[in-house]
Amino acid sequence: QPPFDVHAVRRDFPILQERINGRQLVWLDNAATTHKPQTVIDRISHFYAHENSNIHRAAHALAARATDAYEGARERVRRFINAPDVNEVIFVRGTTEAINLVAKSWGAQHIGEGDEIIVSHLEHHANIVPWQQLAAAKGAKLRVIPVDDSGQVLLDEYRKLLNSRTKLVSITQVSNALGTITPVKQIIALARGVGAKTLVDGAQSVSHMRIDVQDLDADFFVFSGHKVFGPTGIGALWGKRAVLEQMPPWQGGGNMIADVTFEKTVYQAIPNKFEAGTGNIADAVGLGAAIDYVTRIGIDNIARYEHQLLEYGTHHLKPIPGVRLIGTASDKASVMSFVLDGYTTEEVGKALNEEGIAVRTGHHCAQPILRRFGVETTVRPSLAFYNTYGEIDRLVAVISRLACQRRTTATTGSTLP
Ligand code: PMP
């Protein structure tokens, strides 16, 4: 039994009532993006109807309302990830922008020729490309922690990569392609042993498990609002105050300055130093509402229920003839990546869509890890707390039918319908 009323929760998400090809939508594409509860939708329209203003600048009532709403959202993010200081939370467009900010600002300052940056084989392209660009510009080297056949990082191999030239270890907490939960706390502690800074990509973890940046002891933690039931176009970069304070701004403009003359600019303190220009105020406020919603259900309740759902789904998908699960680590969240003999992943995705079931098929912006398993694409159902056992049954029924049709075709030689 789930520790909350899933059917009541589902009623909070209007889009889950959509009908696709005559069937009620089954949304199993949560790793790509999550849906928004009515409270988030309402909070954004309330902002535009009653609070809309630019922040910080004008001394009028709506500016004060907008500023309070925006800063209230920052405080919600702080609490959600247990950061010690609200000024350490910087609003950005999302995970991608957060990582690029760190690469462009901290990286430009601290990475030099011969230095090494470590990522894992599991990373999303957003946690590969910015480091590759930085390494190319600086003459530094990108090194990769390999994974075992279950898709878990090999800690012993990681230990061998660490040395005095290691300046940064940037690692995902949950793989978006396989669902592997990586041992980030251990990875961070080992990095600290050689004096390297650490960044945790929390894009796939924030909606599935409790985050405590103080317990993790990373230098940076980044995530996207749209993957945790908030709006698109907003996310957060958290960094340790001492690290952020030493970093140069990455963009210049309004909001981030204390004083400007043609000779010289004095920057604002954090977080404004990193928030040049008019930010995504309304969506930051929407993210705050999403965090309130998740907090009300309880992230530990969510983690427990999703774990049961994932076990159920895996248990029923695995034995289907022709199904090959990619990513079988003992510690996983949300994701069941697989391929099905006799079908392209696009064909499987299309057959599921015909039944109203949404999954992502493709390379999931993580080509290196899929190639590690000898595939270019997978079918990737991914769960959230509003999914049900019944929805997984519908997924399994379609995959079983496809598998059965393939076997019939193989024995009778007839072509696929
Ligand atoms: N990292 C991981 C692990 C992700 O899953 C994603 C989104 N698929 C990203 C980074 C990039 O996030 P965004 O596109 O929201 O910037």
Closest among 222, 216, 217 to 237, alpha carbons compared: 222
In terms of DSSP H, where are the helices of 143-298? 155-161, 184-193, 213-216, 241-246, 281-297
Q: Which of 33, 95, 125, 173 best tests ligand 1's pocket when mutated (most atoms within 8 Å of CB)?
A: 95
Q: How far is the CA of 197 from the centre of ligand 1 (A)?
A: 21
The yes-or-no answer on residue 365 being catalytic is yes
- Enumerate residues 6+ apart whose C-beta is below 8 A from 161: 116, 118, 143, 145
3-class SS shares of the chain: helix, strand, coil, % to 5: 45, 20, 40
Closest among 246, 245, 222 to 93, alpha carbons compared: 222
Judged by DSSP in three states, 247 sits in coil
Closest ligand 1 atom, CA of 365?
A: 8
Closest ligand 1 atom, CA of 32?
A: 8
> What b/e sequence results for 337-367 when a residue is b if at least 16 CB atoms lie within 10 Å of its CB, and e otherwise?
bbbbeebebeebbebbbebbbbbbbbbbbbe
Q: Pocket residues for ligand 1 (CB within 6 Å)?
A: 94-96, 124, 126-127, 172, 176, 201, 203-204, 224, 365
Global pTM value:
0.97
Closest among 292, 283, 310 to 385, alpha carbons compared: 310
pLDDT at 409: 77
ipTM of the modeled complex: 0.99
Give me the residues of the chain with pLDDT under 70, please.
Answer: 1, 57, 412-417
Closest ligand 1 atom, CA of 95?
A: 16
Q: Which of 91, 119, 124 best tests ligand 1's pocket when mutated (most atoms within 8 Å of CB)?
A: 124
Let me know the angle formed at the C-alpha of 361 by 356 and 362, rounded to the nearest 5 degrees.
160
Please identify which of the residues 108, 154, 365, 375 carries the catalytic annotation.
365
Q: How far is the CA of 83 from the centre of ligand 1 (A)?
A: 21
pLDDT at 417: 45
